[in-house]
Structure 1
Amino acid sequence: MNNKLPLVSLVCILLKFSNVECIVGGHTAIPNAAPYMVSIQNPTHICGGVLVANNWVLTTASCVFGKSNLKVLANSHRLLTNMERVGASVSVVHPQYNAASGINNVALLKLDRPAVSTQNSVIGLNDAVVISGAPTAFYGWGSLVYGSAAKSNELQTLYQKTLSAADCAKKYQNNGGLISGYICAHIQPGQAACSKDQGGPLVDYRSGKLIGIYDHGILCSGNYPDVFVDVAAFKSWIQTTMST
């Protein structure tokens, strides 16, 4: 991972300027900042995904459940490109995934061939309990405006701070609560993940490890935290699935 953030963004994160619009709605990512980021397509972009091995992609089960003929675009900053898409020969949805409740919302795609040639493009998995206040970077090609079907052609970045499961549950206590296996990230109103960002990576800025994959938010508003699948909670399942 390229850990060089724009200086003003880093200062805003570390000094916790909650009333400063450091990145209004996110901004275009630095090319090659997230080499592990992929676009899952059917036939065009439907979700984000993350390379956790050179031939395995982690995403949410809700992105791929019941879908076939999935392809993955890797090594690209832009969605509109002539680069070859790699087919996904196997789709493994968590056996206890429940679409109604959203529990265990994780899946793995096994690619027909390696999407990258070196392990430098594969992200490590977090295995520590997520606490509140850690600076993060989130990546996605999703909608730039709530309700819009349009996607961003260029990969976008949003810098946020983590919320532990307990702290996030308090924020969501009047909005359906927070089920087990999730964490959150937040910065301020007007900055949030959005439609077709699902499955995209939330990365710990300091360790460079994957701590979450985007699940949902409320109206892409940033008034409430974005909710992410807690990668640490599923690390054992991910590793076991890739080894079989």
Structure 2
Amino acid sequence: MNNKLLWTLLAGVLLKFTNVECVVGGHTSMPGAAPYVVSVQNPTHICGGVLVANNWVLTTVSCVQGRSNLKVLVGSHRLLTNMARVGVSSIILNPQYSATSGINNVALLKLSQPVTSAPVQINSATVTTGLPTAFYGWGSLNYGSASKSNELQTLYQKTVSAADCAKKLQKNGGLATGFICAHIQPGQAACSKDQGGPLIDVSSGKLLGIYDHGILCSGSFPDVFTNIAAFKTWIETTIASN
């Protein structure tokens, strides 16, 4: 087979697998790819979350504050499933959360019973620019859309350190303390209802952040994530005391 024909065939295969409708430029996750990812529901999907212990889920305050009767879907990459949802027995908000500035946007949900899915390990190292990451979520496929993806989506990005991200977002309000960012290119970004979804270091498999916000789901600017390393102590002491 000559080289020209080989590259033509390879290009066709790549187009087949990249031309997929998904979370603003991502792709559908393989079942079981991220067993620690959960859907927080009231009564349907409202945001993402991540297992940090067998009966604890980490998500954002802004997603769950003021809500009751929350349930969590664990162990399914599809939202439309007959799998039983797990009840939430306690909602613990970070007491230093500020609705004005958005800082300290982390909350813990205690499940009514332990689950068998493996929790994620939490990163404790400083996040530098350029680390390959995977983000997971069921959020909207397009900016302004009320719909969400039935199947869990994966978006590969690279980290942007807090200092570097602050420069990139300088004309858009900057970056508050306690956040990191991830970015790849225009047309690829997290979106609404992705809030609380995990950003995972591909190399270590550890949790770097949970999605907080972005700009118009455009991918023209970095997505902003709560830097979980900054809250590792709060997460561990809260779980231990409850």
TM above 0.5, one fold? Answer: yes
Residue 51 of structure 2 corresponds to residue 86 of structure 1: no
Counterpart mapping for 1:5-154 below 5 A: 25-116=25-116, 121-154=118-151
Aligned to 2:163: 166
Report the aligned-residue RMSD.
1.3
Aligned to 2:11: none
Question: Given residue 94 of structure 1, which amino acid in structure 2 is its aligned partner?
Answer: N
CA distance in 1, matches of 2:69, 2:96: 23
**How many pairs were matched up?**
221
The SS at the match of 1:39 is: strand
Structure 2 spans left out of the alignment, 5+ residues: 1-17
Question: Given residue 148 of structure 1, which amino acid in structure 2 is its aligned partner?
Answer: S
Return the match for 1:206 from 203, 206, 210.
203
TM-score by length of 2: 0.89
CA distance in 2, matches of 1:148, 1:100: 25
Compare the two structures and name the one with the higher helix fraction: 2
Aligned to 2:13: none
Return the match for 1:197 from 194, 198, 210.
194
Larger Rg: 2
Residue 191 of structure 2 corresponds to residue 217 of structure 1: no
CA distance in 1, matches of 2:19, 2:147: 24
The SS at the match of 1:241 is: helix
Measured against aligned partners, the alpha-carbon deviations of 1:172-191 in whole angstroms (never above 9, x if no partner) come to 11111100000000000000
Aligned to 2:232: 235
The SS at the match of 1:66 is: coil
Structure 1 spans left out of the alignment, 5+ residues: 1-20
* CA deviation after TM superposition for structure 1 residue 25, in Å: 0.5
* CA deviation after TM superposition for structure 1 residue 115, in Å: 2.2
The SS at the match of 2:170 is: coil
Measured against aligned partners, the alpha-carbon deviations of 1:55-102 in whole angstroms (never above 9, x if no partner) come to 000001101111111000000010000100001110000001011110
CA distance in 2, matches of 1:98, 1:69: 24
CA distance in 1, matches of 2:192, 2:225: 14
CA distance in 1, matches of 2:102, 2:168: 18
Question: Given residue 192 of structure 1, which amino acid in structure 2 is its aligned partner?
Answer: A
TM-score by length of 1: 0.89
CA distance in 1, matches of 2:62, 2:51: 18
Q: Percent identity?
A: 73
Q: Which runs of 4+ in 1 moved over 4 A?
A: 21-24
The SS at the match of 2:185 is: coil
CA distance in 1, matches of 2:159, 2:65: 28
* CA deviation after TM superposition for structure 1 residue 22, in Å: 9.8
CA distance in 2, matches of 1:217, 1:67: 23
The SS at the match of 1:242 is: helix
Question: Given residue 185 of structure 1, which amino acid in structure 2 is its aligned partner?
Answer: A
The SS at the match of 1:152 is: coil
Question: Given residue 208 of structure 1, which amino acid in structure 2 is its aligned partner?
Answer: G
CA distance in 2, matches of 1:215, 1:243: 25
CA distance in 1, matches of 2:78, 2:150: 5
